[in-house]
Amino acid sequence: MTVTRDTLAGFLAAFNNHDLDAIMGYFADDCVFYMPRGAKPRGDHYRGKADVRAGLATRFTGIPDVHYGDDRHWVCGNELGVSEWTLTGTSVSGQRLEVRGVDLLEFDSEGKIRRKDSFWKILD
């Protein structure tokens, strides 16, 4: 399967729709998702579709109005993709968020995401 910028834009649209079923349709069974925060330098991570789904559900619970806008996407062959975006939303604790970030995506031969590694700018 060919990975295109439309693939990446569709993946981001699924996030903006808060549609976990659609989001998970982009992931391979043996996927891993590295979060932008965590106790280790690479951030916390979720491994496998069930674990990734549960982790993503916490994003929508923690930031119920989360939205990814001002996005741009790049593809390198059929294996690598990059999505740049601005995350906005309000956490359940009332903190307003607006942060620039990027996802580094690695795809398998079927065009499914094997690895999603998210990075956010750290704001002072």
Domain 5-120 listed as CATH 3.10.450.50: yes
The Cα–Cα gap between 20 and 22 comes to 5
Helix or strand run (H / E) with residue 74: strand 67-76
pLDDT digits (tens, 9 = 90+) for 100-120: 999 999 999 999 999 999 999
Q: What is the pLDDT of residue 20?
A: 97
pLDDT digits (tens, 9 = 90+) for 3-22: 999 999 999 999 999 999 99
Both tokens assigned to 94: 């009332």
What is the pTM for the complete model shown?
A: 0.92
pLDDT digits (tens, 9 = 90+) for 46-76: 999 999 999 999 989 999 999 999 999 999 9
pLDDT band at 78 (very low <50, low <70, confident <90, very high): confident
Q: What is the pLDDT of residue 1?
A: 76
Could you tell me the residue ranges of all domains in the chain? 5-120
- Over residues 82-105, the mean pLDDT reads 97
The Cα–Cα gap between 119 and 10 comes to 19
The Cα–Cα gap between 118 and 36 comes to 5
Both tokens assigned to 48: 């496998």
